[in-house]
């Protein structure tokens, strides 16, 4: 089936269930569902979303927009502030599909005015607390400045405000996530109210995986854009966004050596495969949870076992109570990655239980785009 | 020249100087020089080493060994404990070149006995303090057990003991590195003395970038295998292995937005490009240092500027005293990565100042190997 280890295995059934659950939630809450495709970066996984009525998507780069446009997606938001050097490619793509860009400040917007000639949809990026990029929801003066610039460009069609409450990633548990969610929605509702008269059809675009997974109420929001939920991962488990049976991707690694006296084992699966992202599970920093693998599917994580450290190619697994003492070199284990987005990007390909390969765009292929 | 950003730029002159310096150091210390090629993973960069007399190399996977063997390298050590599922490829490659494997325990060695039929050179992995894999230098009983197993296999030729003092990566400053170095050499000298009568031509293979960069004396050592020194990086700068003018690789990123009031700017260059490795510089955790870029070469790092956090595609740069206030979206900056090995692997390609592209194996290509 697969010729080389480690490889990234995807449970397509779980993946589809995750998609279905989120699509149903969006429908029930009367939200437009524009999932972020940066997690899977795969045309084949993307096609699964069509079964659940998805016809518009979010991406994080022009290369990713081109990649999915070439597979028939014709309504795409690039949810990354405009980058001047992409102007030519943006103009070309916007001739073919409905393309939305986001602008994070007047400065960022000014950089587009002279170089974007195609018709595009425009979002102003709002910062509801992540403190990364965008305008504060209360800063209506700067918003007005940007709206005036947008109104003067006949090929720019103002769509609304877009935000990513990425600070939800530092939450632990449902109540912390809901607190962030409620605060964000309150601030966005005021923003919407402020501009509603002038822009009655304003879109408020929102949605990271933690809030979209946990919350049921999305008052004032028009569309959600979660991405990570398609696979979830150990970080989302730690945040409280998912349970372990929703995690749909695992890195399959061969055991290289076992040190029962240290309750430690070495696998071939390192930072170049999993990425160096870590998260706290039960108060212990880890680079992934560890499951038995029976050559087809993976089990529930082994209690007390976790990836303690990573070198470039080595993974060091710590475990308790002899739970993995029986393993020997060549046996396979499944590691539930901390951040599936980064693991997918690192691996550059995925496999399903039937051995089918799912190509991934990944930034390596961007060089050829 | 280059069509897409971010891209990884290599200063070939610095790179060659780094190679020359290490080759001269090895020659002066009468050491065999077997550089690790996992940092650059590039055939073209590999060829630069030939100018400095290098004719044997170290790699970290069978895929990497095949890749460099196909470019004419015919003496390769895979410095990663044997992985049973690679047996067929190991046998095939060992028919063509001198191939050395390492074994980290009797258990790891036993997994090879029935499946490795080709003639190979054999190293026993020794743990001099990294506490990752291998046998303690003082554990001569386990070494004897492994040596007996090796002696019984007519196609296994015992070469010696191999170690990686990777705990030098947690050192700060020359004296801490030298302390680790001296302790490792003392333990290895005793190991060598113990086995010298029985194995007079024993090889002691050693060498990580910090110790090989800082130390001048390598008594009792036969060969060194540093890898990272070819480019160095911000982590090595923090450890004290290099100075800033030896760092030979930088990620060129476009500015996306500037927030002068927060002394912060956003670039397109995130965890999928730099990797999520961080290091402390002047007591502050950072994901890279920041230099001005004049479209050809990069300057010294801007004092007080560093990559504070990374999302998948975003880099957030913090700076002091208005030093980067003049930047605008579309301007280019150079980020000196924390861990060049991981950045090279993430990017999958490098460019020199003349725009020539250097392909990188990276694990993505392993799928086709």
Domain with CATH 2.40.37.20 in chain A: 244-363
DSSP state of B267: E
Is it the case that residue A225 has pLDDT exceeding 60? yes
- What integer pLDDT is reported at residue A2 of this predicted model? 61
B21 φ, ψ (degrees, to nearest 5): -60, -45
Strand ranges, E, within B223-352: 223-224, 249-259, 264-268, 279-281, 284-286, 288-293, 298-310, 314-318, 332-337, 349-351
Distance from CA of B60 to the nearest CA of A (A): 7
Please tell me which of the candidates A276, A314, A329 has its beta carbon nearest to residue B108: A329
- What integer pLDDT is reported at residue B91 of this predicted model? 98
Q: What is the pLDDT of residues A276-297, one digit of tens each?
A: 999 999 899 999 999 999 888 9
Distance from CA of A6 to the nearest CA of B (A): 9
Cβ-Cβ contacts under 8 Å, A348 against chain B? 362-364, 367
First to last CA, chain B: 30
Whether residue B293 lies within 8 A of chain A, CB to CB, comes out as no
Please tell me which of the candidates B60, B104, B328 has its beta carbon nearest to residue A107: B328
Is it the case that residue A248 has pLDDT exceeding 60? yes
Identify the sign of the CA torsion B182, B188, B190, B193.
negative
Residue whose C-alpha is closest to residue A332's, from A27, A44, A59, A6: A6
Q: Which residue of B has its CA nearest to A341?
A: B312
Buried b (16+ CB within 10 A) or exposed e, A176-189: bbbebbeebbebbe
Two tokens, residue A52: 């659940």
CATH architecture, range A244-363: Beta Barrel (2.40)
For residue A307, the SS3 value is strand
Two tokens, residue B358: 């250097």
Domain with CATH 3.20.20.10 in chain B: 31-231
Does the distance separating the beta carbons of A369 and B363 come in below 8 Å? no
For residue A36, the SS3 value is strand
Buried b (16+ CB within 10 A) or exposed e, A57-84: bbbbbbbbbbbbbeeebeebbbbbbbbb
Whether residue A276 lies within 8 A of chain B, CB to CB, comes out as yes
With left for phi above 0 and alpha for psi between -120 and 50, is residue A185 left, alpha or beta? alpha
Mean pLDDT to the nearest integer, A128-154: 96
Distance from CA of A260 to the nearest CA of B (A): 11
A vs B, Cβ pairs < 8 A, gives: 173
Cβ-Cβ contacts under 8 Å, B81 against chain A? 256-257, 266, 329
Does the distance separating the beta carbons of A341 and B276 come in below 8 Å? no
Q: Which residue of B has its CA nearest to A361?
A: B364
Does the distance separating the beta carbons of A330 and B83 come in below 8 Å? yes
Identify the sign of the CA torsion B154, B156, B158, B159.
positive
A residues 213-232 lying closer than 8 A (beta carbon) to B: none
Does the distance separating the beta carbons of B108 and A363 come in below 8 Å? no
Does the distance separating the beta carbons of A4 and B271 come in below 8 Å? no
Whether residue B106 lies within 8 A of chain A, CB to CB, comes out as no
DSSP state of B304: E
Using CA atoms, how far residue B58 sits from B62, B67, B102, B130, B228, in Å, is: 11, 12, 11, 19, 12
CB B57 within 8 A of CB B85: no
Q: Is B23 exposed, middle or buried (0-12, 13-18, 19+ CB in 10 A)?
A: middle
**Considering chain A, what percentage of its residues have pLDDT values greater than 70?**
97
Whether residue B132 lies within 8 A of chain A, CB to CB, comes out as yes
Peptide bond connecting A6 to the previous residue in cis, omega within 30 degrees of 0 = yes
Does the distance separating the beta carbons of A342 and B266 come in below 8 Å? no
Q: Which residue of B has its CA nearest to A256?
A: B83
- Tell me how many helices (H) and strands (E) chain B has: 12, 19
Whether residue B172 lies within 8 A of chain A, CB to CB, comes out as no
Mean pLDDT to the nearest integer, A224-238: 98
First to last CA, chain A: 30
Mean pLDDT to the nearest integer, A33-40: 98
Distance from CA of A80 to the nearest CA of B (A): 8
B residues 328-357 lying closer than 8 A (beta carbon) to A: 328-330, 341-342, 345-349
CATH number for the domain whose boundaries are B31-231? 3.20.20.10
Two tokens, residue B300: 């010294």
Cβ-Cβ contacts under 8 Å, A257 against chain B? 81, 104-105, 107-108, 133
CB B207 within 8 A of CB B193: no
- Best of A102, A130, A312 to mutate (most B CBs within 10 Å, chain B): A312
- What integer pLDDT is reported at residue B363 of this predicted model? 53
Q: What is the CA radius of gyration of chain A?
A: 22
Distance from CA of A124 to the nearest CA of B (A): 13
Residue whose C-alpha is closest to residue A10's, from A34, A40, A30, A37: A40
> Which ranges of chain A does DSSP label H, i.e. alpha helix?
12-28, 43-50, 62-69, 87-94, 106-113, 140-151, 174-196, 209-214, 234-239, 271-274, 340-347, 362-366
Adjacent-strand bridge partners of B315? B267, B310
Distance from CA of A157 to the nearest CA of B (A): 21
Distance from CA of B6 to the nearest CA of A (A): 9
- What integer pLDDT is reported at residue B2 of this predicted model? 61
ipTM: 0.95
Whether residue B253 lies within 8 A of chain A, CB to CB, comes out as no
pLDDT average per 10 residues of sequence, chain B (369 residues): 83 98 97 98 97 97 97 98 96 98 97 98 95 94 98 98 91 93 96 96 95 95 98 97 98 96 96 96 95 92 97 96 96 98 95 94 51
């Amino acid at each position: 089936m697969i010729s080389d280890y480690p490889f990234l295995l995807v449970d397509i059934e779980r993946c589809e269930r995750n998609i279905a659950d989120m699509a149903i939630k969006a429908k029930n809450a009367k939200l437009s569902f524009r999932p972020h495709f940066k997690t899977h970066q795969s045309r084949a996984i993307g096609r699964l979303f069509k079964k659940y009525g998805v016809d518009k998507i979010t991406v994080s780069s022009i290369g990713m927009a081109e990649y999915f446009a070439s597979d028939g997606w014709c309504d795409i938001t690039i949810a990354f502030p405009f980058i001047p050097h992409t102007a030519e490619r943006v103009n070309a793509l916007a001739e073919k599909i409905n393309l939305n860009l986001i602008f994070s400040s007047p400065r960022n917007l000014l950089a587009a005015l002279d170089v974007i000639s195609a018709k595009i949809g425009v979002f102003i990026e709002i910062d509801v607390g992540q403190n990364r990029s965008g305008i504060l929801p209360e800063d209506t003066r700067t918003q007005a400045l940007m709206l005036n610039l947008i109104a003067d460009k006949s090929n720019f069609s103002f769509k609304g405000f877009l935000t990513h409450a990425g600070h939800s990633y530092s939450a632990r548990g449902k109540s912390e996530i809901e607190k962030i969610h409620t605060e964000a929605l309150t601030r966005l509702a005021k923003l919407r109210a402020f501009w509603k008269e002038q822009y009655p059809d304003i879109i408020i675009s929102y949605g990271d995986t933690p809030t979209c997974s946990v919350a049921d109420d999305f008052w004032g929001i028009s569309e959600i854009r979660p991405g990570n939920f398609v696979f979830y991962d150990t970080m989302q488990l730690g945040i409280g966004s998912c349970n372990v049976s929703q995690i749909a991707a695992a890195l399959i690694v061969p055991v290289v050596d076992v040190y029962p006296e240290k309750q430690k084992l070495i696998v071939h699966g390192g930072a170049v495969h999993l990425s160096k992202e870590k998260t706290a599970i039960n108060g212990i920093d880890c680079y992934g949870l560890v499951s038995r693998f029976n050559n087809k599917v993976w089990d529930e994580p082994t209690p007390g076992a976790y990836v303690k450290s990573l070198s470039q190619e080595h993974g060091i697994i710590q475990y308790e109570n002899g739970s993995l003492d029986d393993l020997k070199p060549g046996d396979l284990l499944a590691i539930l990655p901390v951040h599936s987005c980064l693991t997918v990007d690192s691996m550059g390909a995925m496999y399903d239980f039937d051995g089918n390969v799912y190509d991934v765009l990944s930034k390596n292929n961007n060089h050829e785009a």
